[in-house]
Structure 1
Amino acid sequence: MNIDTHKTYTVEEAKRALERYCAYQERCHKEVQDKLRGMRMIPDAIDAVIVHLLDHNFLNEERFAKAYVRGKFKFKHWGRNRLTLELKRRQISRFNIQIGLKELDALDYYGTFDALAARRCEAIKESNTYKKRKKLADYLLYRGWESPMVYDKIKELIP
């Protein structure tokens, strides 16, 4: 008995499926293209579905960039560098990345950074000052906070 385990989709079925996919949460073009490739759609069908999603406002890169920045900053406490890198990885245009980063309130940004650095500094159980500074720097830099901010904060927290 030979059963095909891969379902094939018509363009209309793919449109409906991707409408639900995009309505669930904001998506970028790359995620939608990957999803359609996973559904084994041909390039012409992929283009047709993406045009449909754009026309009906299911897909909007500016809206995605704003939502992504707000979400990752609020829940993961990522800094501008990490947010920019992750958006570039998703092939978001430089223009939309700049619009997305404008979602960050300056007071909120620095307040979150100060709280995150202080909390992490307390959590690092290291007696060697050099190693403690290195661990804190690595932690903050990995999360995408700007180098000058990180090193100034380390001097302040670990004299």
Structure 2
Amino acid sequence: MNNQDYKKHLSKAMRWCSHTERCKTDVLQKFRQWNTPQQLHNKILEELETEKFIDERRYANAFVSDKFRFNKWGMIKIQHALKQKSIPELYISEALQQIGEDEYLETARSLMEQKNQQINDEYQKRKQKVFRFMASRGFETGIIFDLWDKMQE
């Protein structure tokens, strides 16, 4: 592998990483799409980290913020998605702590109320559908039960 190939692939990766936050898993996946030679992967990843094009901690923070605020995902779903991208557990827990408890509960309550209003079924079926929806969004069972009980008062 010559130096020119390395520079070409590094430059391409830097350009791609500069558009939005990326993690190592995303970059490795892109290398496979681009047919980047296997022996260059680690060297390019190291360079990208050194030059701050990728940073797993920064990625985790951005991911948590985006998925919670824009997609209205719960912590379970966010945590699972980050684990699938091989983000270290420490970074995941640090990033999840940036979500305020009040904001989290308010988002869950709002989602639950919206879903509940959309369903025209008898009580038990509606409850099942709302619970399944909230669980699919990654909200914790305890929170779902508490919010449902408060909503029924």
Which TM bucket (shorter chain)? over 0.9
Task: Name the stretch that deviates more: 138-147 or 103-112.
Answer: 103-112
Separation in 2 of the partners of 1:77 and 1:68? 12
Separation in 2 of the partners of 1:92 and 1:37? 19
Aligned residue pairs: how many?
150
Separation in 2 of the partners of 1:24 and 1:102? 26
State the match for 1:140 in structure 2.
134
State the match for 1:38 in structure 2.
33
State the match for 1:157 in structure 2.
151
Name stretches of at least 5 consecutive residues in structure 2 with no aligned partner.
Answer: none
Maintained 8 Å contact 1:29/1:59: yes
Which of residues 83, 88, 106 in structure 1 aligns to 2:83? Answer: 88
Separation in 1 of the partners of 2:152 and 2:77? 24
Identity percentage over the alignment?
23
Separation in 1 of the partners of 2:8 and 2:119? 52
Letter in 1 for 2:26: E
Q: Is 1:66 equivalent to 2:58 in the alignment?
A: no
Separation in 1 of the partners of 2:47 and 2:134? 41
Maintained 8 Å contact 1:77/1:143: yes
Q: Give runs of ≥4 in structure 1 deviating > 6 Å.
A: none
**CA deviation string 1:95-143 (max 9, x = no partner):** 11011102211221111111111111111121x2111000000000000
C-alpha displacement of 1:158: 4.4
Q: How does 1:1-159 map to 2 (within 5 A)?
A: 10-126=5-121, 128-158=122-152
Separation in 2 of the partners of 1:60 and 1:110? 29
Maintained 8 Å contact 1:69/1:101: yes
Separation in 2 of the partners of 1:22 and 1:124? 42
**RMSD, aligned CA:** 1.4
